[in-house]
Amino acid sequence: MSSEVGQPPRQRRIVDAHHHLWDLSKNYHPWLCDATPIPFRYGEYTAIRKNYLLPDYLNDAQNYQIQGSVYVETEWDPLDYKGEVLYVAEMKKVQRLPTVGVMHVRLDDLNAEEKLEFQRQFNFVRSIRHKPKAHAKPGNNEPGGMENAQWRIGFEYLSRLGLRFDLQTPWWHMHEAHALASAYPDTSIIINHSGLPADRSSDGLHQWKQAMQKVSECPNVALKISGISIPKSSWNIETNRWIVETLIELFGIARCMFASNFPVDKVCASFDEIYGGFEKIVANFAEQEKDMLFRSNANRIYAMGLE
């Protein structure tokens, strides 16, 4: 563990707002199973191209008391839209975690309504994630996936069914997220991984903050503070403090949730480095505020019903 982060407080209760589990011996995930790895924002990821099950997760998180968790879709076989939710349903029959799930449906599919209705049958499904088409870098003024007419039709179905939407897109598409959230004020949108602030240059961070400030104006948008590791660098407070504090300032404590993004972020950091870093950054917050960030906001936003 990084000496900068230090030992985390023992047994803080948390609700992890974003993690994954996968059994590659049973289920096909192209990015984890295919011989040729895909380009990945953290670089080389061979270390996680293997089974990651609940005992593995609990071992990584052993210094924390996991009260509940949010399973997030894992880019499952795209030809099998039923398989992942059925896999999670089977897991939940024999284990306490995950508490709820974020499943995948391509919103621009012509039969998106049918697929959304199938997911909605499972009482643990709280949200849907479909990463909309995004430009590789800022500066392209052409519309992205959230402006696509067929994608919007799928989102309309999602909204009618009362589902939440987990949005993963880079910050330069947050103006589209603002437009989407404004058009559907009764649908909860949860931004994944802090808007992906990968460019840590002064200009990059300035533009990221402006984009996040714009989308934070929408009261139906919440945020996961997660996925802010840096390739080939340990998780450190010097690098990440400003990002965490800026997000809390923009969105307010009540709309922010800490999350591990494990095992994906395990490529760059240990569970204790990530959560210990969060602990250090909010050390001067009131205990109730800390509990909101680490636990109760995720419980409320995803309607988990935990005590």
The string of DSSP codes covering 208-223 is HHHHHHHHHT-TTEEE
Q: d(Cα 305, Cα 161) in Å, to the nearest integer?
A: 20
Q: d(Cα 59, Cα 239) in Å, to the nearest integer?
A: 26
Number of H helices, E strands in the chain: 11, 8
pLDDT of residue 232: 80
Q: Sign of the CA dihedral 126, 291, 56, 264?
A: positive
**pTM of the complete model:** 0.95
Asked if 233 and 198 count as a contact pair (C-beta separation under 8 A), the reply is no
Q: d(Cα 250, Cα 255) in Å, to the nearest integer?
A: 10
Q: Sign of the CA dihedral 27, 33, 39, 42?
A: positive
Asked if 98 and 123 count as a contact pair (C-beta separation under 8 A), the reply is no
First-to-last alpha carbon distance for the chain, in angstroms, is 32
Q: d(Cα 132, Cα 129) in Å, to the nearest integer?
A: 9
Q: d(Cα 164, Cα 273) in Å, to the nearest integer?
A: 30
- Backbone phi, then psi, for 69, in 5-degree steps? -155, 160
Local structure of 230: helix, strand or coil: coil
Q: Does domain 12-301 have CATH number 3.40.50.300?
A: no
pLDDT of residue 10: 57
Q: d(Cα 267, Cα 249) in Å, to the nearest integer?
A: 28
DSSP secondary structure letter of residue 66: E
pLDDT of residue 133: 95
User: How do 164-167 and 125-129 pair as beta strands?
Assistant: parallel
Tokens of 98: 């995950």
Domain positions in the chain: 12-301
Q: Residue holding tokens 């204790």?
A: 272
pLDDT of residue 48: 97
DSSP secondary structure letter of residue 9: P
Local structure of 228: helix, strand or coil: coil
**pLDDT tens over the chain, length 307 residues:** 333 445 545 589 999 999 999 999 999 999 999 999 999 999 999 999 999 999 999 999 999 999 999 999 999 999 999 999 999 999 999 999 999 999 999 999 999 999 999 999 999 999 999 999 999 999 888 889 999 999 999 999 999 999 999 999 999 999 999 999 999 999 999 999 999 999 999 999 999 999 999 999 999 999 999 999 988 888 889 989 999 999 999 999 999 999 999 999 999 999 999 999 999 999 999 999 999 999 999 999 999 999 8
Query: In sequence order, which residues have a C-beta less than 8 Å from that of residue 294 and are 6 or more positions away?
Result: 12, 13, 14, 15, 258, 275, 278
